[in-house]
Structure 1
Amino acid sequence: MSVPFKHIIKQYFNFSKKDRNAIIILASFILIMIVAIIIIDNIQLKSRYDFTEFEKALEEWENSRAISEISYQTFFVFDPNLISGQKLDSLLIPGFVKRNIVNYREAGGRFASPADFRKIYGMNDSIYEVIEKYIQIYKKPKTKTKPVKLNEEVVLDFFDPNQASFQELTKLGFNSFQANNIVEYRKKGGSFKIEDDLLKIYGIDSAFFLTIKKFIQIKIQAPPIRKEDNPAFLLVELNSTDSTELVKLPGIGPVFASRIIKYRNLLGGFYSKQQLLEVYNFSEETYSDIKNSVLADSIQLKKIRINFSGYRELIRHPYLNNNQVNAILNYREKNGSFSSVNQIRLANLVDSTTFYKIKPYLNCR
């Protein structure tokens, strides 16, 4: 083996100096690589440690730290049942949790206590722990109310304070003191021209007045007409007169006389002379000229028996339309006979204007 080695040495020195240096560098590099391989193969690095628990703990710590920082900046006292969508957006909790809160409320859900907040999907313990102290559920205060005992004998109905008796007033809800004051006021010559005049009666306050106001129906009293003031005075009663009498009135010719008679027959008579203004093309000027020469005797009105009348009879009346007639008939069919004409208004079968116009023509007999 020595011979080859000597031969190698001899050959080595036959190379130029530059070649010899290159051989040394190459040999050194090869030697280093061999040593490195040997070291790597002999040193066992054990790095198979499980960092899962550590990473989880670190993540929870970072989340709690972030939520803690947020709580000092964005959380405030709120009621989850009442908080608006805009204010809810200002809470830096996960967006899907906010959406679930809104969806829960829209579905009819309510939060009775802060603990109910845990029912929201996505609300974990770490978030709830931070916001719990900010949740404040508003609860309506429980007030003790005394039951109101209604007098079973009280029947709210339309009435005229100028005509109602003491007994009628007490049945309408007036106490004895109020009813007596109304009667005494009338005995002394007092009268009620408008509904608000009732407030002049001692013992009637505004609260009670508001409960009965819609049932007050004051009849307008026509001023008395004295024939002796004018010897040539002509007074015509509209429900019993004929065309020959009507044409004697100023501004009334045969055409208007005929229209008045026809309209009177359709109505069933006039209960007010102002109804003349409903006659076709009857002017205010003409009415002004004759209003002191005419009167209407309501006793002569032809009444409609609403418990027996059918569609044809009701629809013929100028004050009733198809819908109103059907409403009256349907109500009668479902509820039986009318015990009072006022039921038509109380049941909203007709509007108030129509009711006051048609009421004088109706009865329940």
Structure 2
Amino acid sequence: MALFSEREIRALAIFLPLAGLLILGLTLARPKADPEAARRVERTMEQRADTLRLRPFDPNTADRDELLALGLTNYEAVSLLKYRAAGKVFRIPEDVSLCYGISDSTYRRLEPYIRIGRKYAFAPREYRTGRPLPEPMAPVQFRIDTVGTRYLRAIGALSKRQAEAFVRWRDLHGIYDMEELRDCYVVSDSVAAALEPYIIFPERTPHPIEQPVNLNTADSATLRRVWGIGEKTVMRIIEYRERLGGFVRVEQLAEIPGITERNYEKILKQIYCDSCEIRKIDINFASPKELGRHPYMAPATLRKLLKARQLKGGWSTAEELIEQHIMTREEAARLAPYLVFGTQSGPDSE
């Protein structure tokens, strides 16, 4: 049985030559590559790139010449202008990509330079006036007791609400040093540090004190009445007094963070300490925790002391600690007022 009929064979005989002629014609009609033309196009693009002046622009106000200078084609520039003429407004840079004549590649190239003016950009209602916000004014020295809200806002230190709250707080409590400035809840530590070189504090009128304050027995309210001791310093004094076991000398106040040299001189005239009221530590029987809590006991010294105590059993005088190289003479001198040397039969009184 034949695969094709006589009629199908005649049709194939006619179709195949025609198909060959069509393929040959298409091959001959294909344009040949022109290397010189490609080079001319490349040179044109390079020259165009050399003339571009990429710089910040506002798509809401840029004219045709400015858009062409940015590298847009005439078609792209006209498309953007028509888009704008139709009532469209560019609120954010991404709106430029919505313009039908701007390709994605063109938008990506322009995006770093798009600047939307305050008149058109999304912003709080009170700022939609077209007026640029003023630059903060450089601060100069000012009195903290008389400075107004306008100045604090002008130098960029506080917002309007913060400045108003600050003035109310200052007039109620008074501010006489940096510690009291930081006590104000609207003043952060960073703002206080930035303002410190420019602040002039008023002189505090001291409250008359009938008699000097005993550092070892005064409570927080009594310490607060001392001229030069602020609220934070009161807590530091009480905490340090507890760790020490009491003050032996008023000069130990200088060891507390936050006591400035200026305040220290003021405070010394209003205080005293009774060294008979200090709490002592029995070095032969006190626990490692109790010994380590004392601010004069260095960690390395504590390790040597505990190791030697375990082997030797104890000491009778501070001089023995120096001879056995457990403490330096300076360490022993600082700690001696706080130590007792107890025996198995009971602690001795020093």
- TM-score normalised per structure 2: 0.37
Q: Which has the larger radius of gyration?
A: 1
- TM-score normalised per structure 1: 0.36
